[in-house]
Amino acid sequence: MVKYTLRRLIQAIPTLFGITILSYLLMTAAPGGPVAALTFDPKMTPQQKERIAATLGVNDPWPVQYVRWLIGDEWKWVDDDGDGVQDERAVSGPTRVRYGILRGDFGTSFYQRRPVLDIIAERIPATLELGFAALMFGVLLGVPIGILAAVRRGGWFDTMTRVMAVLFNAVPVFWLGLILILLFGNLLPNWLHNSNPTMFPTTSPLLPMGSRCPTRLTGECPPIYNRLEFLILPTFVLATGGIAGYSRYMRASMLDVIGQDYIRTAKSKGLSGRQVWFKHGARNALIPLATFLGPAITGLLSGAAITETIFSWPGLGRLAVQSVLNLDYSVVMAVVIISAVATILGFILSDILYALIDPRIRFN
């Protein structure tokens, strides 16, 4: 297993480099560019804009720009006077660009004037918090629903779960989020207040409509168990697709398992239905589901742009949307690379989950 994992990690290196090249090409081909983001001031003269372009090195050929973005620009500096200090000899531009993504440095944000990694480090906990809650909710609810739907095939429960899965897949996330905000923020509070003014004296929202913690707090958010109400709506919206997908795939996989000989043998031994379906059948039915669990687990880092934007959740997804609108190229590229790395690791994790779920599978 260790050798297989190392081999897959080594094989992923060319893939990652290909993603970086393609991403950088697309970013350089986009209208505008870093100079436009930094020179929005109409009072800035063409000479000042040209100086900024030279400083950023955007006038260089794109292979030079890509290498500088990848490893920094120390390779363009030499010791001319022999004093042991590298002197400036840049292809263009009067300043040194020290950052390089392979060195773990994505540069400075154009919009916030702060290191990109500091900005991302502030958003990762919120993204992991929401993503992990949605993943656990989707798996813990979707997998048992799929098993029960397969066991009771053709019954009312099976029919209802199939209809709900189609609805969850068909309803857009942004529409569902807005409907829930309207429902719990306006319609239900007004209805409860009009029905029973004594018990519900105000029409305040039943659940928080956005943010990660109370807005009155100026410091860090309190522990998650003190603000679970802030997770309810965004977690449900983000988990609806997972519930529908996991339940449908689990139902289809479970139907294949039910007809196997070892299931009939387990029944003939007098085992209870719970032991047959959940202990013997579910473990083998989970193997196809591992294909989706791997990328889903590591994909938590990429965030959910739509859900985080609707509920004002301070995660990576909302940061990516804001960075695109603000032409913050360095942050956009950082989010793209982090998402690419998370996706690659997700598929490797899927292969590892195969062996953990089914002991018959070994990678030699």
Three-state SS string over 89-138 comes to: CCCCCCCCCCCEHHHCECCECCCCCCEHHHHHHHHHHHHHHHHHHHHHHH
Same domain, 190 and 160: yes
Has residue 39 been placed in a domain?
A: yes
- The helix or strand, by DSSP H or E, that contains position 31, with its residue range, turns out to be none
List residues bridging with 115 in a β-sheet: 108
User: Per residue in 107-140, is it b (16+ CB within 10 Å) or e — as a string?
Assistant: bbbbbeeebbeebbeebbebbebbbebbbebbbe
Q: How many residues make up the chain in this entry?
A: 364
Has residue 141 been placed in a domain?
A: yes
Q: State phi, psi for 8 to the nearest 5 degrees.
A: -65, -40
Helix (H, G, I), strand (E, B) or coil at 364: coil
Has residue 124 been placed in a domain?
A: yes
Total domain count, the chain = 2
Question: What pLDDT does 89 receive?
Answer: 45
- Give the CATH number, domain containing residue 144: 1.10.3720.10
User: Tens digit of pLDDT for each residue in 240-297?
Assistant: 888 888 888 888 888 888 777 777 787 787 777 777 777 777 777 777 777 777 777 7
Q: What is the rounded average pLDDT for all residues in the chain?
A: 78
- Out of 103, 138, 157, pick the residue that ends a domain: 103
- Domain limits for position 63: 31-103
Higher per-residue pLDDT: 2 or 241: 241
At 94, the pLDDT band (50, 70, 90 cuts) reads: very low
Has residue 317 been placed in a domain?
A: yes
Q: State phi, psi for 228 to the nearest 5 degrees.
A: -65, -25
What sign does the CA torsion over 267, 272, 273, 278 have? negative
